[in-house]
Structure 1
């Protein structure tokens, strides 16, 4: 079994949160989603902007689009990727720390402001 400290586990949790959010929502990663999803924005009756995603294509393209549009689904794959990187390539730990700090900052931002 993988022996992991609680601090490394917290780094992996926060890094996974941030990577998942980056892939599913952030504009900087829109080039990843663009071939698989059509994203539109519409204002609702309360004046809030609502994001709508439509999956493109069929077969594999549709499956990837479905994956990229689902925060919970993408979270599983992001977590798997980061745990494999942590386990097989320890040199990637600084990247995990950067993602974890960004994830913690995002949580603080949304909860405090």
Structure 2
């Protein structure tokens, strides 16, 4: 399969969205939960701040550190997106396209929010 510029953009956007899904989104919190300890602290204003720290040892520590690093998770999601697209192009294309469109939508939302908050 030849990777055109359009394919590269679609794969990049899909990887971007999938990475954000794993690392930040609330809907996938259940995936991250087993790999983190939740620490709550009261700040100077009396508000509770919640921090997530990777587990102390073993595979859970490794995966917790991986999921807490956007750049690290991005490498693996990119490898997965590209690998799946090369191995199963017909089956994976709709999923990758949906992720890419969602990636564009999230970027546009950030831009809109920037101008609204300005």
Gaps of 5+ in 2: 114-118
Q: Distance in 1 between matches of 2:8 and 2:56?
A: 37
Between the aligned partners of 1:5 and 1:11, the Cα distance in structure 2 is 10
The unaligned stretches of length 5 or more in structure 1 are: none
The aligned length equals 110
When normalised by structure 2's length, the TM-score is 0.83
What does residue 23 of structure 1 align with? Answer: 22
Paired position in structure 2 for 1:102:
102
Deviation at 1:9, TM superposition (A): 0.8
Larger Rg: 2
Change (3 A) 1:14 1:36: same
Q: In structure 2, what is the Cα distance between the partners aligned to 1:50 and 1:103?
A: 29
Secondary structure at 2:34 match in 1: coil
Change in Cα spacing, 1:39 to 1:95, as seen in structure 2 (3 Å) is: farther
Matches of 2:100 and 2:41 in 1, distance apart? 32
TM-superposed deviation, 1:8: 1.0
Task: Look up the SS of the partner of 2:3 in the other structure.
Answer: coil
Q: Give the TM-score normalised by structure 1.
A: 0.86
Matches of residues 1-113 of structure 1 in structure 2 within 5 Å?
3-39=2-38, 52-90=51-89, 91-113=91-113
Change in Cα spacing, 1:102 to 1:63, as seen in structure 2 (3 Å) is same
